[in-house]
Copies of this chain bind each other. A is one copy, B any other.
Amino acid sequence: MSNGSMVPGPLSPEELQAVDAWWRAANYLALGMLYLQDNPLLKRPLEPSDIKARLLGHWGSDPGQSFIWAHLNRVIRARDLNMIYIAGPGHGAPATLANAYLEGTYPEVYPDRGWDEEGMKRFFKLFSFPGGVGSHCTPETPGSIHEGGELGYSLSHGFGAAFDNPDLIVTVVVGDGEAETGPMATSWHSNKFLNPARDGAVLPILHLNGYKIANPTLLARIPEEELLDLFRGYGYTPYVVAGEDPAVMHQQMAATLDTCLDTIRDIQRRARTGDSGKRPRWPMIILRTPKGWTAPRTVDGHYVEGYWRAHQVPIPDVTTNPEHLRLLEDWLRSYRPQELFEPSGRPAAFLRALAPTGPRRMSANPHANGGLLRKPLRLPDFRAYAVAVPHPGAVEAENTAVLGTYLRDVIRRNPRNFRLFGPDETASNRLQAVYEATGKAWMAENRPEDQDEGHLSPDGRVMEMLSEHTLEGWLEGYLLTGRHGLLNSYEAFVHIIDSMVNQHAKWIEKARQEVTWRAPIASLNILISSTVWRQDHNGFTHQDPGFLDVVTNKQAGVVRIYLPPDANCLLSVADHCLASTDYVNVIVADKQPHLQYLDMDSAATHCAKGIGLWDWAGTDADAEPEVVMAAAGDVATMEALAATALLRQHFPDLRLRFVNVVDLFKLQPPSQHPHGLPDRDYDSLFPPGVPVVFNFHGYPALVHKLTYRRAHHDRLHVHGYREAGSINTPLQLAILNGIDRFHLAIDAIDQVPRLGSRGTHVKEWLKDEILRHLAYACEHGIDPPEIRNWRWPQDL
């Protein structure tokens, strides 16, 4: 460090020394984590036996991140800020961990890694070590709501955390590698949805570290004016802090942070004193420092500091190369640990005094353990929104439209605790009743036309942007900080966030099982609508029910899938999901008019059981059925019922059972999923040996995957989407994939040999029906009226 007293800036020489000392301490700890299993305070010369057998972890972004953290602590104390920190470069966990350790949070949470020599030794050794902690900001990391294992979501998480938290400032460090991802590139636009009057602030810091794993980063290699244009274009006021001389950098960073925080305060004050509704230009910082800052510039003639070789462990061979071991020791000692830690291992008193106190510490802020702050939703009685169902299958309703009326009142009753998210599809998915209660969040320009059912409002609680990634990131950030929400999406395009949902599920899995100090958060609720079976007009690209397959791969303790057949079941399921915690709930419900089957009481009972026999549809009475017709999903259920009606009309003596599945995991045995139906109950619904024709909403193999441990698995005949579709009528699309009433009836007849020539005769007729209906559709462009207006025959 150059002579700090010579550099102009807001820090007094003492302040400068203090912030630099904190930074050195954090760097020392981070480097120790990468290498040491013993001799943590360097009380003796380093020996090969002090080094871990396997060197794992990332140094690259650590010093830059600790630099930021040190400066944030200064302003938190100076301004009494309520701030959390999101580490976009999550593989730079050593920085986050080091700072949590210095702040005392780590020893509080993990007393075996306390403020003494033994504790520090253990803290070092267990980093990225079997049985220890991960090399990313995993759920085990105090202060983290963002693991950063998969890149691209730090900023959308940050905005999600800031929504409805007016006093919170979320500092988001965006790695310049991560900045190349698509999800990150569009999430900068989140500023058009942040209302300074009711929401908190997000302070993005783009860390121009210069390199990824093995390449320069794009944003570090474009001219500075271009870079500034980019962030002005994203709607921010960018401030650059660039260099490598610590003294100069400390003063620059302190001055810049002061400016940014003054600006944030001014924006919020103006907005909160009547000037709301205008989108401000929020500040952001571009911090350009050498990758692996403070590491040796070269080792054996190869660049390390300021180059991609600093990404992971900069000097890998220290146990076998004595010269390199000395290099490492010199490097460790360059932070002057003896000034920073007492001989006992405790951080020096002046360092301890630099940390904010209690929950003001970013590592201990309760917003980063959102379950602590979570208040259960005030849910209206879902029964009040029931569709009247005089007889099963007699009336139609748009299932999601009914849900919309319920969600409208959820919004009304939880004005600061719940948001609805959708990629420009909330109305398309028929949830438009919510606009009676609120608008769509919008801080960009308003125009006169918008008064014509535009529903735009700075206070809107519906979040719409055409980026599933951003929405999912916002929602995750919102949940992780203790609030509630629901995302609705077209079924085919929810695959866009497969990987994000995977990662969130993994977070919950770890948090539930291994992190006792984390309180449960509200479940991630995903409503899949505009489903495959009603994408007959949009064609093949819009037909993909495979998200369910992805979800079933996650741990059984965390994932739930519901396929309510009608509106009352959807209400019951939604109520259950919104009240739950620590799950990923997936609800599949189409938006088009569908037949209604169950009155509210029956629906609630049916959904509570998750799977059940519909005796009004079947004919098996007290005897064992000859064939079971089963269905999961709204369209699948309707076609299966129509097949049942056909069979009953043609074979009044056939003993036919009808089973409907709402809770998909009922199909798995209890050994595989906590919702799994006990084998005895499963066998009672599907008596062993009795063939089952199963009409499934999704890809048929998923049912086989879930049921392969069940007895007599080979009597299951599953129909589902088999990747056949184009522009079709609804019945055509069903026929092309074999989930239509006719194919189902044919399949059922095939299962009952005793039907003999009667069966053959009816099958021939059914095949003719298929051809007739296909031809009708091709001529008229719609299905015949007897299909469009089909109702369950009440005289059966």
Contacts and interface: CB of A to CB of B under 8 A. Distances in A.
A177 interface: yes
Nearest to A464: B215
Interface string A387-428: 000000000000000000000000000000000000011111
B781 A53 contact: yes
Interface string A706-722: 10110001100000000
Contact of A449 (B186, B303, B498, B541): B303
Contacts of A128: 537, 727
Contacts of A187: 182
Contacts of A331: none
Contacts of A39: none
A546 interface: yes
Contacts of A777: 130-131
A136 interface: yes
A555 interface: yes
Interface string A490-511: 0011011011001100100110
Contact of A135 (B184, B464, B727): B727
Interface stretch (A216-224, A337-345, A593-601, A740-748): A216-224
Contact of A728 (B130, B465, B503, B782): B130
A516 interface: no
Nearest to A551: B546
Interface in A679-710: 699, 701-702, 704-706, 708-709
A229 B229 CA distance: 5
Interface string A130-154: 1111111010000000010111100
A214 B465 CA distance: 11
A698 B480 CA distance: 29
Interface stretch (A197-205, A232-240, A620-628): A232-240
A795 interface: no
Given A553-B699, A554-B723, A701-B708, A218 B465 contact: yes
Contact of A185 (B186, B221, B499): B186
A385 interface: no
Given A128-B537, A213-B428, A465-B180, A150 B185 contact: no
A60 interface: no
A651 interface: no
A708 B704 contact: yes
A228 interface: yes
Given A135-B727, A449-B303, A708-B701, A218 B424 contact: no
Contacts of A226: 232-233, 235
A180 B444 CA distance: 14
A726 B427 CA distance: 42
A109 interface: no
A444 B211 CA distance: 13
Interface in A506-558: 506, 509-510, 514, 537-542, 544, 546, 549-550, 552-555
B541 A149 contact: yes
A130 B781 contact: yes
Interface in A167-219: 177-178, 180-187, 189, 192, 212-218
A319 interface: no
Given A307-B449, A510-B540, 17 more contacts: A53-B780, A129-B727, A130-B727, A131-B777, A134-B540, A134-B727, A149-B538, A177-B424, A181-B186, A182-B470, A212-B466, A221-B445, A222-B444, A230-B230, A495-B550, A553-B701, A701-B705
Interface of A: 37, 52-54, 56, 128-136, 138, 147, 149-152, 177-178, 180-187, 189, 192, 212-218, 221-223, 226-235, 302-303, 306-307, 424-428, 440, 442, 444-445, 447, 449-450, 452-454, 456, 464-470, 492-493, 495-496, 498-499, 502-503, 506, 509-510, 514, 537-542, 544, 546, 549-550, 552-555, 699, 701-702, 704-706, 708-709, 713-714, 723, 726-729, 732, 777-778, 780-782
A228 B234 CA distance: 10
27 contacts: A53-B782, A134-B539, A136-B541, A150-B496, A177-B466, A180-B465, A182-B182, A182-B185, A182-B467, A182-B470, A184-B186, A213-B424, A214-B427, A214-B428, A215-B424, A215-B456, A216-B442, A222-B445, A229-B232, A233-B233, A302-B452, A303-B452, A307-B452, A493-B499, A546-B553, A704-B705, A708-B708
Contact of A214 (B230, B424, B549, B781): B424
Contacts of A132: 727
A424 B91 CA distance: 15
A537 B135 contact: yes
B54 A537 contact: yes
A709 B714 CA distance: 7
A796 to B, nearest CB: 31
A230 B181 CA distance: 17
Contacts of A235: 222, 226
Contact of A231 (B231, B233, B427, B495): B233
A542 B723 CA distance: 30
A495 B496 CA distance: 9
A456 B216 contact: yes
Nearest to A451: B303
Nearest to A233: B230
B539 A131 contact: no
A542 B149 CA distance: 7
A495 B52 CA distance: 33
Chain A to chain B: the 5 pairs with minimum beta-carbon distance, closest first: A230-B233, A149-B541, A182-B182, A185-B186, A229-B233
B424 A723 contact: no
Given A226-B235, A701-B705, A180 B723 contact: no
A465 B130 CA distance: 32
A271 to B, nearest CB: 19
Contact of A506 (B465, B540, B728): B540
A452 B303 CA distance: 7
Contact of A131 (B135, B453, B778): B778
A776 to B, nearest CB: 10
A281 B464 CA distance: 33
